[in-house]
Amino acid sequence: MSPVKAADPRILPPRRTVDQAAMSSSKRSTKKYVEGVPKSIVRGMVLAHNHVVHGPDWPCGVNGFRAWTDAKRPAGFVLCPCRWSGLRHYAARRFVEAYRENPERYWRSVRALEREWGLLS
């Protein structure tokens, strides 16, 4: 059997890996993660956070809570009523629906976590 030559049409170019695709798209990304609790955001940017339970003044990082700014609202995100940071911001639709369904339950879980971690004064 003869070796396959590089010009052979059966040889496909290497596929891009997920990491390569992420690296090339990250060059165009305007997403910037937030540290602490923002007091303002740059004009033209939107503020968004993940689905993790958090209090109104919890900094990013507590309990896995993360927030970021971006040039546009993430797909599937809606205006969030949770009062975090006091700024207009967005969260995943499922998080917002769960919050609106039973805000008292949400705030009970926040207070329980604050007690557990000694965050209440």
Q: Give residue-wise pLDDT tens across range 85-111.
A: 999 999 999 999 999 999 999 999 999
pLDDT (tens digit per residue) in 56-75: 889 998 889 999 999 999 99
- List of E strands, 1-121: 32-33, 46-49, 67-70, 77-79, 90-92
Q: Is pLDDT above 50 for 4?
A: no
Burial class (CB in 10 A: 0-12, 13-18, 19+), 19: exposed
Contacts of 75 (CB under 8 A, 6+ apart): none
**What is the SS3 assignment for 78?**
strand
